[in-house]
Structures are given as C-alpha cells and as structure tokens.
C-alpha cells in the first residue's frame, strides 16, 4: 500500500516590481518535483497587496490567488520583491507579515525580500542573504542583521539572494524533505547541472572574473572593500600584505589595467551610487559612509566619474 503523501503548501507574497527570474526559479522546481515524483508533494498560492495582480520588474502582470487576509494551511510564506522594494514595503505589507508570524506561519524571503522582513523587525541578530547589489544599503540601514555573501541561508527564516539562487534554495528544500535523488532528478529536468550549496558565493570570484590567480591582489581588493568608510592608502595596504607599494601598483596594472588608488576610488563611488539609489540617507551621510571628508569633495569626485552630481543622480529616480 502506498503511504499517504503530505503536501507542502508554499505561499509567495509578490511585491510590485518583483523579480520574475527569482519567482520562476522558486516556483518551477516545485512543479517539476510533482511531475517527476508523480505525487502532489507541493502546492502553492500567490499573494499580493491588492489581491488581484502583481507586476514584475519586466512589466509582466501576474494574477494572484489572495490578498493580505490571514493565510490558510500555508507551511511557509516567501516574500519576493525586486527593485524599489523600499517604495512597495507598505505599512499594510508589514502588518500582514507580523500577523502571519504571530499566527505561527514560517517565513522566508527571496531576492530583495530580506529587506522587507528586516523592515518588519524579523531579522535582528540573524544571518540573512540578499541580492549582492543591495548589500551596501542594507548594511547601512540594518546593521543588526548579519548579512552573508552566500546564495541562500537556511535558518529559522530562510533567505535567498535572488535570480537562480532561488532554484538552489528550492532544490535544497526538496532534497531535505524528499531526498537527494528527487532533487537531482528535478535539477536534471531543469538542465541545471551546477546546483550550489547554500554557502556558495553569489558573485563570480575576482580570480574567475579577471582570469587571475594572484593571492596578493585578491587580498588587496578585500582590504579595500573592508575599509571604504576609512580608506587605507596603497602604501598601508602594501605594508599589510608585506609587499612594496611598487609591487602592488604592478599587480593592479597587470591584472586590472588600473592603479590601486583609482580602483579603490571606483569601489567607493560605486557604493555611494548604490546608497543614493537605494536609501534616503543625506548626501553628507553618504559622503561620510564612503570615506569622503567633505560633501564638496564627494560631489566633485562623483560628478567627474559619473557625469552628474549626487543630487541629480538621486533626482533621476523621482
């Protein structure tokens, strides 16, 4: 006699401008698991703020099953968002999530969804994953959350960084629940032969991106990324690495066609642009967070690099 199958019910709360790629990568493994196993292992429902539709960032509109009323029979509720998550993180959404947690619903987040849960005060003191492009702004706004650079984080509240990381997470959950053989079979159906563990990094390594294998250069860039608020000089970095400043300059020239000073400035300005686009911090606060001693120096340097002032950069979003 075949044992009864317990069906796991996932609900996906879709915020406006959600990532269609992340959503598909989260949903399709569940459908394929049912198909491959021949059993209803999973069911799902879609939720949005208005209970009718949700539009993703590529303009596609998705019909949903429910609004922000109390969920019924849901085993885990995932928040999926994308760009402009701050604008769509309404008081009604936060109230709904807090109410669901109080009712005992397990929660999770995909792509920039961790931002929404953090705004609801649910990730304090916890490890969480979010798409790498939001790391700077997230760390500034939620310093009490321990961000990880991994593709997903399987904790009491599950978080995944977005894109194909959602598929990695779902394959992981399928494997935990129904065994590795089924997870592999689902991955095969997806022609997905590079399934990543949760601890895998989100981004292609510097070594792979630039075809380099120089440990000194990798370490130098890591030191720069760790000291954006209080920038280290090339000579200080070289001293930490126990190499000469001239040797450090040769490494940046050979592998990156740049200088340590110029490369570090690009890192700082890129972070500044992220904070301008993704936060409401003042220009002065952003200048300080990116290691500039004055707003005027920051504005002049930013304009020289991007061709516009920080204020006009922010104005393009309004």
Contact 251, 217 (CB under 8 A): yes
Indicate if the pLDDT at residue 195 is higher than 60: yes
What average pLDDT does the structure give for the chain?
90
pLDDT at 1: 33
Indicate if the pLDDT at residue 2 is higher than 50: no
pLDDT tens digits, one per residue of 106-139: 999 999 999 999 999 999 999 999 998 888 889 8
Contact 313, 276 (CB under 8 A): yes
The model's confidence at residue 192, banded by pLDDT at 50, 70 and 90, is confident
Q: What are phi and psi of 146, to 5 degrees?
A: -90, 95
Q: d(Cα 238, Cα 233) in Å, to the nearest integer?
A: 9
User: Token match 């292992």: residue?
Assistant: 41
For the chain, the straight-line distance linking the first and the last C-alpha, in angstroms and rounded, comes to 62
Indicate if the pLDDT at residue 89 is higher than 50: yes
User: Token match 């009604």: residue?
Assistant: 92
Reported as type and span, the H/E element at residue 289 is helix 283-289
Q: d(Cα 310, Cα 222) in Å, to the nearest integer?
A: 26
The domain 8-189 is placed in CATH, from the list 3.40.50.300, 3.20.20.450, 3.40.50.880, 1.10.3720.10, at 3.40.50.880
Map residue 192 onto helix, strand or coil.
coil
Q: d(Cα 286, Cα 73) in Å, to the nearest integer?
A: 44
Cross-strand pairs, 106: 76
pLDDT above 70: percentage of residues in the chain: 93
Q: d(Cα 229, Cα 222) in Å, to the nearest integer?
A: 14
Gyration radius of the chain's alpha carbons: 22
DSSP secondary structure code for residue 131 in this structure:
-
Give whole-number Cα distances, 59 to 19, 45, 50, 164, 283, in Å: 10, 21, 17, 20, 31
Q: d(Cα 85, Cα 14) in Å, to the nearest integer?
A: 11
The model's confidence at residue 313, banded by pLDDT at 50, 70 and 90, is confident
CATH assignment, 206-315: 1.10.10.60
Map residue 271 onto helix, strand or coil.
helix
pLDDT at 37: 93
Give whole-number Cα distances, 75 to 51, 71, 104, 195, in Å: 20, 10, 9, 24
pLDDT tens digits, one per residue of 165-190: 999 999 999 999 999 999 999 999 99
Break the chain into its structural domains and give their ranges. 8-189, 206-315
pLDDT tens digits, one per residue of 197-239: 876 666 655 555 555 567 888 889 889 988 999 999 999 999 9
Indicate if the pLDDT at residue 318 is higher than 80: no
The C-alpha torsion from 223 through 226 and 230 to 236, rounded to 10°, is -10
Contact 57, 82 (CB under 8 A): yes
Kindly report whether the global pTM for this prediction surpasses the value 0.85.
no
Indicate if the pLDDT at residue 33 is higher than 90: yes
Residue 133: other Cβ atoms inside 10 A: 18
Indicate if the pLDDT at residue 256 is higher than 50: yes
């Amino acid at each position: 006699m075949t044992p009864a199958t317990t069906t796991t019910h996932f609900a996906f709360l879709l915020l406006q401008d959600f990532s269609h790629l992340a959503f598909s990568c989260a949903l399709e493994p569940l459908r394929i698991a049912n198909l491959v196993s021949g059993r209803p292992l999973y069911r799902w429902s879609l939720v949005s703020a208005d209970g009718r539709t949700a539009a993703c960032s590529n303009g596609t509109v998705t019909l949903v099953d429910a609004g922000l009323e109390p969920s019924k029979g849901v085993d885990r509720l995932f928040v999926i968002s994308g760009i402009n998550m701050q604008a769509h993180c309404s008081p009604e959404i936060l109230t709904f999530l807090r109410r669901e947690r109080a009712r005992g619903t397990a929660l999770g987040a995909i792509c920039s969804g961790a931002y929404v849960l953090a705004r609801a005060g649910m990730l304090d003191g916890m490890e969480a994953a979010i798409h790498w492009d939001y790391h700077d702004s997230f760390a500034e706004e939620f310093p009490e959350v321990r961000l990880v650079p991994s593709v997903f984080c399987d904790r009491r509240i599950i978080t995944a960084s977005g894109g194909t990381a959602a598929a990695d997470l779902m394959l992981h959950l399928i494997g935990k629940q129904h065994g590795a053989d089924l997870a592999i079979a689902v991955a095969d159906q997806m022609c997905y032969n590079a399934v990543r563990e949760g601890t895998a990094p989100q981004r292609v390594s510097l070594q792979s991106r630039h075809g380099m294998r120089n440990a000194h250069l990798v370490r130098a860039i890591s030191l720069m990324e760790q000291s954006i608020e209080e920038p280290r000089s090339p000579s200080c970095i070289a001293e930490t690495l126990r190499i000469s400043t001239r040797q450090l300059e040769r490494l940046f020239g050979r592998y990156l066609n740049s200088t340590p000073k110029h490369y570090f400035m690009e890192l700082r300005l890129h972070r500044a642009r992220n904070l301008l686009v993704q936060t409401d911090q003042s220009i002065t606060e952003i200048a300080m967070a990116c290691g500039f001693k004055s707003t005027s120096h920051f504005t002049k340097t930013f304009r020289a690099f991007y061709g516009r002032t920080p204020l006009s950069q922010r104005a393009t979003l309004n």
